[in-house]
Structure 1
Amino acid sequence: MLSIADDSQGMMLVAEFFRLLQEDNVEDDSMISTLTETQDKALSILPIFSGLLSMWGSYNIIAMYCSSDPTKRNNVYQRIMLGLSASDMLASFVLTLHPFMIPAATSQRAYASGTDATCSAMGFFQQLAFAEVWYNGMLSFFFLWKIKYSMSHEQMARREPWMHSLAIGFNLITATIGAALGMYGELVVGHFCWFTGTMGTYFAYFCAAAPFAFFMVAICVNNLLIYNHVRKSLQQQQQQQQTTTSSAVIVPLSNASSSNNHHHHDPAAATRTSTAESVAGESSATSADSGNSVFSNEEVREQQREAARLAYQKQRQQERLRAIAIQASLYVGSFLLTHLPTFIIRITSAIVGLSPSNEGQFFPLLLIQAILLPLQGLFNYLIYSRPLPYWREAL
Structure 2
Amino acid sequence: MANSTTTMAPTAMLRSDHISNLSDTQEKVLSLLPFLPALLSFLGSSQIIYMVISQRQWQTPYRRILLGLSCSDLMASAQFPLQAFLLPQQTSQRVWAIGTDATCSALGVAQQLTFVSAWYNGMLSIFFVMTVRWGVPDRIFAQHYEPVMHVISIGFPLITAIVGAVMGWYREISVGMGCWISKWPEGCGCNEGETGECCQSQLVAWIVGGLPSLLTFTLILCNNLLVFCHVYTTIQRGRQNATTRQIIVQASTQQQTQPKRSFSLRRSVAPSSEDPQLKRIRAVATQAFLYVGAYLITYVPAMAVRIMESRDYDAEDEDEIFPLLVLQSLTFPTQGILNLLVYVRPTYLRVRKDFALESKWWAFRRAMYGDRVVPRHRQGGNQRQTRRHTQFGIGQSSTTSNRGALSFLRRSTAGKNATPQQQQPEPSTTPAAPATTTTTTVTQQQHEPHDSSSIGEFAADYDESIQHDDGHNDDFPVDGDVATCNTGSQPDASMQGGATGNEVSDRSWDQKASRKGKVEAARPNVDKDRVEPLTIADRHDGAESFLDEGDDSAAKHEGY
User: Are 1:229 and 2:188 an aligned pair?
Assistant: no
The verdict on how the C-alpha distance between 1:314 and 1:67 changes in structure 2, with shifts beyond 3 A counting, is: farther
The aligned residue for residue 98 of structure 2 is 113
1:103-149, Cα deviation, whole Å (9 max, x unpaired):
00000011111100111111112112210000111111111111111
C-alpha displacement of 1:45: 1.1
Quick check: 2:125–2:223 contact (8 Å CA) kept in 1? Answer: yes
Matched residues in 2 for 1:99 and 1:47: separation? Answer: 10
- C-alpha spacing 1:52/1:237, structure 2 compared with 1 (3 Å): same
SS, match of residue 93 in structure 2:
coil
Q: Which residue of 69, 72, 76 corresponds with 2:61?
A: 76
Mapped pair 1:31 → 2:18: yes
The Cα offsets for residues 32-55 of structure 1, whole Å up to 9 and x where unpaired, read as: 100000000111111121111110
1:393 aligns with 2:460: yes
User: Aligned to 2:83, what secondary structure does the other structure show?
Assistant: helix
Residue 26 of structure 2 is aligned to residue 54 of structure 1: no
Instruction: Give the match's secondary structure for 1:185.
Output: strand
Structure 1 residues 193-272: aligned runs within 5 Å: 193-196=179-182, 197=184, 198-251=199-252
Which amino acid in structure 2 is aligned with residue 382 of structure 1? L
- Take 1:320 and 1:24, find their aligned partners in 2: how far apart are those partners? 59
Who is 1:178 aligned against? 164
Higher helix residue share: 1
CA–CA distance in structure 2, aligned partners of residues 253 and 111 of structure 1:
82
1:226 to 1:215, Cα distance in 2 relative to 1, 3 A: same
Are the aligned partners of 1:184 and 1:200 in contact in 2 as well (CA < 8 Å)? no
> Aligned Cα RMSD in Å?
2.9
- The equivalent of 1:360 in structure 2 is 319
- Structure 2 CA distance for aligned equivalents of residues 349 and 103 of structure 1: 20
Deviates more, 1:221-230 or 1:328-337: 221-230
Matched, 1:103 2:88: yes
Partner of 1:194, secondary structure, is: strand
Supply the distance in 2 between the matched residues of 1:171 and 1:30 (Cα, whole angstroms): 30
* Alpha-carbon offset, residue 252 of structure 1: 6.1
Unmatched runs of 5 consecutive residues or more in structure 2: 185-198, 351-455, 462-558
Indicate conservation of the 8 Å contact 2:89/2:98, yes or no: yes
State whether residues 44 and 340 of structure 2, in contact with CA within 8 Å, keep that contact through their aligned partners in structure 1.
yes
Letter of the 2:233 partner, please give it.
K
What's the CA shift string for 1:170-213, capped at 9, x where partnerless?
11111010011111111111111111223333222111100100
How many angstroms apart in 2 are the aligned matches of 1:361 and 1:217? 28
Pick one of 249, 274, 280 that aligns with 1:320.
280
Q: Which residue of 1 aligns with 2:53?
A: 66
- How far apart, in 1, do the equivalents of 2:37 and 2:149 lie? 28
Structure number with greater CO (CA < 8 Å, separation at least 6) is 1
Other structure's SS at 1:385 match: helix
Aligned partner letter, 1:327: Q
Q: Distance in 2 between matches of 1:165 and 1:29?
A: 43
**Equivalence for 1:14:** none
Distance in 2, matches of 1:388 and 1:176, equals: 44
After superposition, the Cα gap between the structure-2 partners of 1:392 and 1:241, relative to the gap in structure 1 and judged at 3 Å, is closer
Task: Verify the 8 A CA contact 2:48 2:67 in the aligned structure 1.
Answer: yes
Deviations 1:216-243 (A, max 9, x none): 1111111111111111111001100011
Q: 2: distance between equivalents of 1:249 and 1:34? A: 75
1:192 maps to which residue?
178
Aligned-pair CA distance for 1:357:
1.1
User: Which amino acid is 1:173 matched to?
Assistant: I
Give the aligned partner of residue 297 of structure 1: none
Percent identical across equivalent pairs? 38
The structure having more radius of gyration, on CA atoms, is 1
Alpha-carbon deviation of 1:313? 9.5
Q: Which residue of 1 aligns with 2:147?
A: 161
Cα distance in 2 for residues equivalent to 1:252 and 1:378? 54
Q: TM-score, normalised by structure 1?
A: 0.76
The whole-number CA distance in structure 2 between the counterparts of 1:127 and 1:312 is: 51
Q: Which residue in 1 is equivalent to 2:340?
A: 381
Distance 1:81-1:308 versus aligned 2 partners, 3 A rule: same
Are 2:105 and 2:165, in contact at CA under 8 Å, matched by a contact in 1?
Answer: yes
TM-score (norm 2): 0.54
